[in-house]
Every structure is written in structure tokens, then in C-alpha cells.
Structure 1
């Protein structure tokens, strides 16, 4: 694999220069702002998993910035790996502290994300979602958790459902970036960053509130 291979997958990018995607690059500040806000809300509350999510959220912003400036295969890795880490850590946190599973059970259930994604991504790929098909299983999984938790932890379930709704809007913006390129020359991908910064920060807040509400 050529890690220096150029990737042009967004409406805003017209050439291979560093600042070919200025709006897509700058709007990654949404992740850093969300991470800073949640760092202030989480610090001092003895929630290591929440703080881990805050750190990963900041890494998502940095990785996405690198991808939308360098636009290479190696930069794409810095973009997607933190997102995957965030998903896995969040699932584990919910399994451990909302479902109250034992450590090995929480880890095992988290590992099931990989076969779940392998089974659902090809199904979403049948829809006109383009590259967004790879992310589509995530809001579905969040909604599944929300439904299953609606009696056990109704406020947390509602928070998860809100997060899934924001992510669906975000995915819509990501999906429409190329199809609407002639109508909106700057594209719509930057809304993916803004809405995702909001959504990922909100998801940490949902977890934080649950931990505070169930603290003994």
C-alpha cells in the first residue's frame, strides 16, 4: 500500500495542495472545542473512561485535520483509527457502567462490534450512501442500545437516541457532499465535522450524567 497516495474524495478539494480544503480543515476545530468543553466537565470526577474518550475526541480532530490537508493514505489512517477507538471505548464504557457487566463480559460484547460491522456495512452499501456506508452501522447500534436501555436507564437511553439523531444528520451531510457539489461548491462535508463534534461531545456527556446519577 502506497501511504503517500493522494486521496480526492470531497467536493471542496480541487487539487493536491495543502490548503485545497480550507473549510473542511478548519471545521475540525469543532472536535477540539468539544474535547475541551468535556475535559472541563469530566476532570476531577474520577471517570477514566470518560477522560479517555475526551482524549480520543481531540485525536479525532487532529487526525481529520491531517487528512483534509495532506489528503494521503497515511493521513486517512490518522482520521479513521481514532474514530474506531472512540466507538470501541464508548461501547465498552456503556457495557461496563450502564449494563453493569463484568469486565470480561463488557470486553466480549464490545468485541462483537467487528462481526456486527462486517455484517451490516455490506447491507448499507446497497443504499446510495457512498463512503458513508462504513459509518451507517454506528447510529443503528446506538439506537439498538437506546431501545434496550429504555426501561433500565430511560434518561441515558433518551440521550443515546438524541446522539443517534445528530449522527444521522451528520451522515446525511457527509453523503450529500459529492451529489450536491455542483449546487454547493464548498460541499457539505464540513457539517460532518461540526455535527460530529457536537454529537461525540454529547455522547460523553450522556455517559458522564449516567455515572453521576448512579454513583453510590
Structure 2
């Protein structure tokens, strides 16, 4: 598929026009709100570590990239959508491993290479890019299964170690699981609910990212 070919994966989109998904587009403000909240709280606790600044920046970029995808809706803007998401996931996983597991930075480099390889393989194998003729199995949500698994493991570890991150991690995991349901059923309910449910994926994902950021900002070592 050409990078500039129109992509139609969601219930709300009925044409290739720029403003064919206004609700899906505007709900990406949830990510911008999450970034602003995290930055406001981080500024109250100086100095702000570079990794937290980078995670907050990636959160804002998730909102921008997703907005572009739900307006221009082509193969090129889809990369702008998924790259910040997976970059955030990979960086957060490494940060969590360091904070909760006590893994030293040198070992994180090797783990980071493994995480990056897994992200690339998962995206290539289950990426959301699909021809306009139809969606993939689970409407492309399968690509986020590793993220859900990582969150579950993160929650279990923090609970087992009675880490102060645990309430935030558990809440973020539950919210993300619910958001995946809304992402998956979007096309299945078009006949009964033409707006679809993908916008709830944005709202709840924004909440999930906000919880993860607040966990680090408020409980960083």
C-alpha cells in the first residue's frame, strides 16, 4: 500500500476527507492533557529527570500523531501515529525495569535492544495497516497484546514488592484493558452505533498514560 493511500479502519470515517473523523481526531486532546498534567506536577518536584521529560514529550507526540492519522488517514500519518506510541511503551518499560527491578543502566542497554527488537517484530507481524477493503483480526488490536502483558507483569511486580507505584500500575492496566475492548469492537457495532467506539480508545489511553506518568513523577527515586 502506498504511503499516501487512504486508510479506512474506523466506524466514524465514511469518506477520505480530512475532517471525516472529528470525534476520533479531537479526543486525542486526552494525550495532550496527560502531558500537561505530568509536566505541571513534575515542575513542582525539581529537578525533572530527562527520562520523564522525554516520556512527557512522547505523550504529547502521541496525541499529535494520532490527530494527523485521524484527519489525513494514510499510510504516512499512520507511522506518525504508531511510532510515538511504541517509543513511549519501550522507554517506559525500561524506566520501570530500572526503578522497580533495580537494574543498573548498563544492563538496560542490552534489555533496551531486546525490547526494541520485540517492538519491531510485533509491529511488522501485527501492524494496523490494512487495505481499505477490510480490517484485520481484532481490528488491529492484537499488536497491543505485548503492551497489555507488560503492564500486567509491571503491576504484579509492583504489588509483590509493595512498591509505591503499584496502585498507579494496576489502575493503568485496568484502564488499558478496557480501552482495548473499545478499540476492538469499533467496526463490529457500526450498524447500531455509527459513531463507533474508537474515540473511547483515545480517552481511556490518555487516562492510562496519565496514570503511568503520574506514577513516575510522584514516586521517582
**TM-score of the aligned structures, taking structure 2 as reference length:** 0.87
Equivalent residues of 1:4, 1:72 under 8 A apart: yes
Offset at 1:42?
1.1
Q: 1:144 to 1:51 in 2, by over 3 A?
A: same
Match of 1:200 in 2: 209
**Alpha-carbon deviations, 1:99-147, whole Å to 9, x = none?**
2211121232233335655479979xxx962300001221111111221
Match of 2:77 in 1: 75
Q: 1:157 to 1:122 in 2, by over 3 A?
A: farther
Matches within 5 A, 1:129-168: 129-168=138-177
- What secondary structure does 1:15 align onto? coil
Match of 1:31 in 2: 31
CA distance in 1 between counterparts of 2:53 and 2:122 reads 31
Matches within 5 A, 1:78-117: 78-114=80-116, 116=118
Match of 1:12 in 2: 12
CA distance in 2 between counterparts of 1:176 and 1:16 reads 22
Question: Would you say how many aligned residue pairs link Structure 1 and Structure 2?
Answer: 209
Equivalent residues of 1:121, 1:137 under 8 A apart: no
Higher relative contact order (CA 8 A, sep 6+): 2
Q: 1:178 to 1:202 in 2, by over 3 A?
A: same
Match of 1:183 in 2: 192
CA distance in 2 between counterparts of 1:153 and 1:110 reads 25
CA distance in 2 between counterparts of 1:85 and 1:5 reads 25
**TM-score of the aligned structures, taking structure 1 as reference length:** 0.89
- What secondary structure does 1:45 align onto? coil
Offset at 1:29?
0.9
Match of 2:41 in 1: 41
**Alpha-carbon deviations, 1:64-99, whole Å to 9, x = none?**
000000001000000000001101110121122222
What RMSD over aligned residues (CA atoms) do the two structures have, in Å? 2.2
CA distance in 1 between counterparts of 2:109 and 2:167 reads 24
Q: Unmatched 5+ residue regions in structure 1?
A: none
